[in-house]
Amino acid sequence: MSNGFNLFLSAFCTFSAVVLAAIACVGSTANYNPINKIFVAQLDLRNIQIPNVFPSSGAPSSSISQLGLPDYFNIGLWSYCSQASNGTVMSCTKPSGIQNFDLRTMLFDNINNNQVAQLVDNLADIILPEDLQNRMAMYNNVVKTTFITILIGICVSFLALIVNLIRWIIHARFVNWIGRFSSFIGFLSLLISGATSLGCYLYVRRLLNQNYGDTGIRLSVGSVFQGIMWGSIFSALLGFILWCSVRSQRSVAYVSRVPMEEKPLIV
């Protein structure tokens, strides 16, 4: 009874980990509620210093309406969304593989004011903190790690769920080991994905905050994404722990039989 109960709980936790990780993975891929509210990080452009960031535009005003930029960028793993100050998500880009963190490109691609766009000819006309630009390759390698490991975590955790179902039929030791191994790899992959996404954007946030006076750009970590992601990690960990408590064979009760004392035959 205990063996079957642990197996059932492990399947439930693993299923929860897969579902939560999948929800986090598809965040900001389409302009549908609540997907458009799930993002790894959010850029706040409301107070962007146009003369410092776009010096070639010759714009004296600090209002982003002159550039046609949104108030916020919601950055997901596959794409990003534009959001107004009232919380309305206006549009989302199409999923295009791994979403690199390239602030210059995002700003350049979203200039809607034609007069300003003619003055800003290329990416070099957009001035951002030097530390941020020098470490761009490192950031994007970390983002790639986040993206790849969350996909591995989802796929391997799903495999652990399939093995769990097989285990109800086949009571063999090798099935247990496959289930434990896949469950552990799924947990480890999700843990790496969650840790890298959090660490990367916390570091970027610190750099932007240090240069806030020059750029006027802030970054915040997506609390909804992190909540879902770490919920998935915790579920995967519980699933692995429960897998370790599943025995290879069903428990069988044995009854000892004591032979009756033989009485001598009286002739």
Q: Which domains does the chain have, with CATH numbers?
A: 2-244 (1.20.140.150)
User: Which pLDDT tens digit goes with each residue over 140-157?
Assistant: 888 889 999 999 999 999
The CA distance from 109 to 127, in Å, is 15
Q: How confident is the model at residue 254 (pLDDT cuts 50, 70, 90)?
A: very low
Contact of 69 with 242, CB cutoff 8 Å: no
Q: How confident is the model at residue 67 (pLDDT cuts 50, 70, 90)?
A: confident
pTM value surpassing 0.85: no
Bigger pLDDT: 211 vs 251: 211
DSSP 3-state assignment of 71?
A: coil
The CA distance from 77 to 9, in Å, is 30
Q: What DSSP element (H or E) covers 89?
A: strand 89-92
Contact of 95 with 29, CB cutoff 8 Å: yes
Contact of 190 with 9, CB cutoff 8 Å: no
Task: Please enumerate in sequence order all residues whose Cβ is within 8 A of that of 201, keeping only pairs 6 or more positions apart, or say none.
Answer: 40, 41, 219, 221
Terminal Cα-to-Cα distance of the chain (whole angstroms): 54
The CA distance from 166 to 179, in Å, is 10
Bigger pLDDT: 167 vs 57: 167
Residue 171 has pLDDT above 80, yes or no: no
CA–CA distances in Å: residue 145 to residues 191, 197, 256, 263: 11, 9, 58, 79
Give the residue-averaged pLDDT of 223-229: 95
| 94 secondary structure, DSSP code | P
Bigger pLDDT: 119 vs 73: 73
Two tokens at 69? 């930029």
Place of tokens 């496959």: 178
